Structure 1
């Protein structure tokens, strides 16, 4: 009979989920070691998100200083690059109050973009009853700075009033996506940031000020979260997490995985858009980056269970894993979940492959696109199925009631 460490290592390597051998056997792994891996993964992921946000800041500064098709493209490319590591942090959100409280300022969507800037009114579907849906702050007179943006966020109690974060920046870089050509994303002209008579659509200096403030805030937010998980900072969230009761820490890890898998990714981010066949419910609707959001979110869940994360510089952070700890109690439960996480990732990559061939997520969810709908449904079904196995893994380590539908059941 194979040892537990052989079973789990073979499953991990066979699914191409880890590029380095795991050094801790399933028989000897401890909950404390798994907790240490978890905080290391969080710090690495948020540090990469911080680093890529700083690159985005540099490229946006260059766009503002010298608006051109080239500087705009460079800023867009930097935004796309920044989304990848951030999207791999999202399984930390639901189980950690510091991330959950912070996330709304960073990643809220969908947004009523008329709050921020001009829109093409006959192609603008805003939240019913939102009195600020056409406020167009950029066309106003209020001083544009970080404090103003914070005050606008969810203004009037509407969650559609998203004034900050990745998607506000995305809108300012791409503009609305009218789908005149299904393969194209938003086509905001770089002259929206030009100076003098070359300025298009008015208020170019204020638009630049808004973009600058939103980006500076994003960088500050990312630094805060990287610091929260950094080693050697007394009293930060990492130190508090490592001081938790072991079973509570394990519950939070698995709860975060299950909540992203079921309620958020399978539900809010995919099924809602599919059922409504609505581009407005697409996660990154201006840039048409939603397929990558989905794939990296799926990878986020996988990273935590397998105890590994590949950084943006190509190095790997790895350590004692939940997969090994679960296997020490129930080898079959661990092996099954490792396999299902790999299957889900494969189905998410099929959505990415279709997008690479010119069929973006907003085209795959159209009512007459049977193959696209089938592809999305397969990924949703895989996410739902793996959530049951996340619950089984929780039971294997003594957690009987995970209930990963909402983010209401964790403490500070």
Structure 2
């Protein structure tokens, strides 16, 4: 029987000491718990989570179509809200990307492996001026580069062209297009209209002129209104299309009856699947939350980076502690309770405490430090829960 391939990663933060874990373990004798029900539903839960993310991306695309049909303050607010909901949904599914699953070799060569797709979906931080104008540079970016065709091949080839911040794809490229570099993007940027000023080209000595006027000087660019409205519309709509395409590719791999990832889990034994779930949660907390997201730079254009942290924790809660009654007795939290109710309660309390702290967190360093400490405690309690279920996790040192 094929076993689930495990890729053991090491995080940078240490959550708890062996002494602390040993103290907790001595409270009760270890009991072998049947995890078959939990293992059987992992693939289904992952597929449902990715399906939700895909559905919310489709809603985002629908709102974008309405906005493009009639760009106005109301439709602009609606598309911004739809982006936030879609990104929340994606982040809630991100824990499944941390399951230690090995992709087929040819997926790496084709650049369609899980990690490559995630880079296309969720690259950050990004340089907004790489894709459209920013203050003081009205002709910067892909939108204003008239030598670059706006189609799938060209936009994919531009992603990470010289630097990871040169992102031309994904949620945060869409975020920049909806909010702008100073979070002051207005609907007129998307009016379907021709240019009203000469547009410099990357070709030396060439200016593409839409009006009969003199060539502008650099000093005069500060007074220009944004140009290339139709290219901006085309590029933003293409971003949404490619986002859905990449999400759908991942979703299909979790399809319960034939998806590659779902099949791997079905072929794995219960113990490996249980261990993989704990590894995914540990890596999400240590690598994604503690080492990256507390910098609060992921959703900088919409100024909602704090919401990213909340969505990631919501993904853990949704999987480990589902609200649906029919899933609760097959949940990881149910297994924790069977193994050691006190350890399970500590994990639940810690998760709620971290969530509450982040929901109230400001940009003050004292607030951020407190929420980090709460999240480290959550990681510590997760490791204790794993030990209570006789699951060995990679070291964090």
User: TM tier, shorter chain?
Assistant: 0.7 to 0.9
What does residue 165 of structure 2 align with? Answer: 160
What corresponds to 2:314 in structure 1?
299
- Corresponding residue of 1:350: 360
Q: 1:100 to 1:301 in 2, by over 3 A?
A: farther
Give the match for residue 216 of structure 1. Answer: 241
Partner Cα distance (1:285, 1:214) in 2: 18
> What does the per-residue CA deviation read over 1:150-182, in whole Å, with 9 as the maximum and x for residues that have no partner?
1111112x21111111100000011013xxxxx
Q: Given the alignment of the two structures, is residue 192 of structure 1 paired with residue 193 of structure 2, yes or no?
A: no
CA 1:318 to 1:329, structure 2 compared with 1: closer, same or farther past 3 Å?
Answer: closer
Q: CA RMSD, aligned part only?
A: 2.6
**Partner Cα distance (2:187, 2:319) in 1:** 40
* Length-normalised TM-score, structure 2: 0.75
Q: Structure 1 residue 292: deviation in Å?
A: 1.7
1:145 and 1:316, CA in 2 relative to 1: closer, same or farther beyond 3 A? farther
Structure 1: give runs of 5+ residues left out of the alignment.
1-26, 123-133, 178-185, 274-280, 352-363, 366-371, 406-412
- SS state of the match for residue 256, structure 2? coil
Structure 2: gaps (5+ residues): 1-30, 102-112, 197-224
Question: Quick check: 1:247–1:398 contact (8 Å CA) kept in 2?
Answer: no
Q: Which of residues 46, 49, 53 is equivalent to 2:50?
A: 46
1:325 aligns with 2:325: no
Structure 2 counterpart of 1:19: none
Alignment deviations for residues 198-221 of structure 1 (CA, whole Å, 9 cap, x no partner): 874111111111111110011112
Q: Aligned residue pairs: how many?
A: 327
Deviations 1:258-316 (A, max 9, x none): 1121222122110xx2xxxxxxx52111112222211111122222322x167xxxx98
CA shift digits 1:8-60 (9 cap, x unpaired):
xxxxxxxxxxxxxxxxxxx9973221123322221221111111111111111
Equivalent position SS for 1:159 = coil
- Could you state the TM-score of these two structures normalised by the residue count of structure 1? 0.73
Alpha carbons 2:63, 2:79 under 8 Å: kept? yes
Aligned to 1:240: 264
Residue 80 (structure 1) aligns with: 84
Query: Given the alignment, which residue of 70, 75, 92 partners 2:74?
Result: 70
Are residue 37 (structure 1) and residue 41 (structure 2) matched?
Answer: yes
Aligned partners of 2:253 and 2:261 also within 8 Å: yes
- 2:134 aligned to which of 108, 114, 119: 119
Aligned residue for 1:206?
Answer: 231
CA-to-aligned-CA distance 1:225-244 (integer Å, 9 cap, x gap): 22222222x25211212211
